[in-house]
A and B are shown apart, each in its own frame.
Chain A
Amino acid sequence: MDENHREIRGFFARYLRSTDFADNEDVFAAGRMNSLFAVQLVLFVEKQFAVTVGSEDLDMRNFRSVDAVGDFVRRKRGALVATTAPTSQGHSH
């Protein structure tokens, strides 16, 4: 997960052109980012982490901070493991 975190933070930093932001900072609320960044972020997450962002996931709450994106990716990956290999992996929720 550390690797993911680094990549997500890197993506935020490239847009913010700064590393001066907290992992839990809501970059949209702070006005440091606009809705346009959200679209780019979705495309990045799909490509980088090979997860599918479904319509139900297209909610700002999943993308507003480095932590939020990290949690989202973890959740999607967990679901992926649970659905593709239900017997060997057991069920996480």
Chain B
Amino acid sequence: MSDKIKCVIWDLDNTLWDGIIAEGDSVEFRHEARRLVEEFDRRGILQSVASKNDREPALDTVARFGVAEYFLYPQVGWWPKSESVARIAKYLDIHLSAVCLIDDDPFERDEAASGCPGLRTFDSRRLEELDLVDALIPSVITPDGSQRRLMYQSEIRRKEAEEASNTTNAQFLNDLGMVLSITNVSEGDLDRAEELTVRTHQLNTTGRSYSREELEGFSKSPDHRLLVASLEDRYGTYGKVGLILLHCDPDTWTIQLLLTSCRVISRGIGGILLHWLAVAAKTRGVRLQGEFVPNDRNRIMWITYHFANFRAVPGSTDAVILENDLKQLLPPPDFISLRVADSLRSEFGEGIIHDDLADSPTTC
């Protein structure tokens, strides 16, 4: 795996600003720090704060300087910094080896590093050198890197709402107003598509992962369709969360890969995609099969296939072939609407799910 840093954690006193607020200093925001905070955000690197301070005045100062929105799960308190760093990594679900701490105090840097194996640290008195640190330059910078932070922020709001909600699980999902968009994988999606196959084990029907080059090949192959699904709801976007590799014969479609990101494990996306494909295959008059390679992690997808009316074809061996006989289509899931890209509609139709919503998918 790459050694790129996905999260930068900032100390406050004498790092983000000059001066120490607990000593009553009138602190001044460091110009270079502000530039880097904005730059890292643009690069799609997540950021947080770990500071030994009283929480209120410290966070008030951050807000006063107009940078509060950049920091996820800021940790301010008098506990060891290693605890703050570990907590941030846990909340963001990022491995410590992909995190760095910027701090002026060598003692704090050492304490955090020894408590957090793999953590990298930088001396904030040499901020101007950080621009060129290779680990802080992602291999791909998308046009809108801030999207990544916004995705985490919407997830935080969503979780809070879920915890506060006193409706049923099904009702909560309904209230989210989820919209799943399905499109062809384009050039710009290839890196994310590769990342999904490499990182998704639990919700991957074959356990296979594919390189960017292989995926690019499928996206151009006349016999294959490589489709990506993005999810959004009233709290914002979840990003690209599902991938389908479909082999299209004139009389049979074979799902060679279906995967959904573990971030949406509780959203039922796999079943919805299978339902959409079943409706499309039936409309098109082709058979619909799915390859499945069981392993010790992907049982959820096996169950999902079965509840979507797929059954093993007798005689299939190590890669089990499942088939939906399409005789009886299940009622469409009603807690999510589909938006199918124009370029896919002639071949796949609109999935007839909420067909009244095809043109205005965000209405509930």
Contacts and interface: CB of A to CB of B under 8 A. Distances in A.
A4 to B, nearest CB: 21
Contacts of B268: 34-36, 39
Contacts of A17: 166-169
A55 B299 CA distance: 11
Nearest to A16: B168
B303 A39 contact: yes
Contacts of B169: 15-17, 33, 37
A49 to B, nearest CB: 16
A16 B169 CA distance: 6
Given A34-B333, A55-B311, A55-B312, A39 B170 contact: no
A36 B168 contact: no
Contacts of B306: 55, 58-59
Looking at chain B, what size class is its interface with the partner chain?
Answer: 20 to 34
Contact of A37 (B170, B267, B299, B312): B170
A42 B303 contact: yes
A38 B268 CA distance: 10
Nearest to B165: A17
Contacts of B307: 35, 38-39, 58, 60
Interface string B266-281: 1110010000000000
Interface in A36-68: 36-39, 42-43, 53, 55, 58-60
B304 interface: yes
A89 interface: no
A61 to B, nearest CB: 11
A32 interface: yes
Given A36-B267, A36-B268, A43-B299, 8 more contacts: A17-B169, A18-B168, A31-B334, A35-B271, A39-B304, A53-B303, A55-B302, A59-B306
24 contacts: A15-B169, A17-B167, A17-B169, A31-B170, A31-B334, A32-B168, A32-B170, A34-B170, A34-B173, A34-B268, A34-B335, A35-B307, A36-B173, A36-B267, A36-B271, A38-B307, A39-B268, A43-B300, A55-B302, A55-B306, A55-B311, A55-B312, A58-B303, A58-B306
Interface of B: 166-170, 173, 266-268, 271, 299-300, 302-304, 306-308, 311-312, 330, 333-335
Interface of A: 15-18, 31-39, 42-43, 53, 55, 58-60
Counting from the closest, the 4 A-B pairs by CB-CB distance are A36-B268, A58-B306, A15-B169, A35-B271
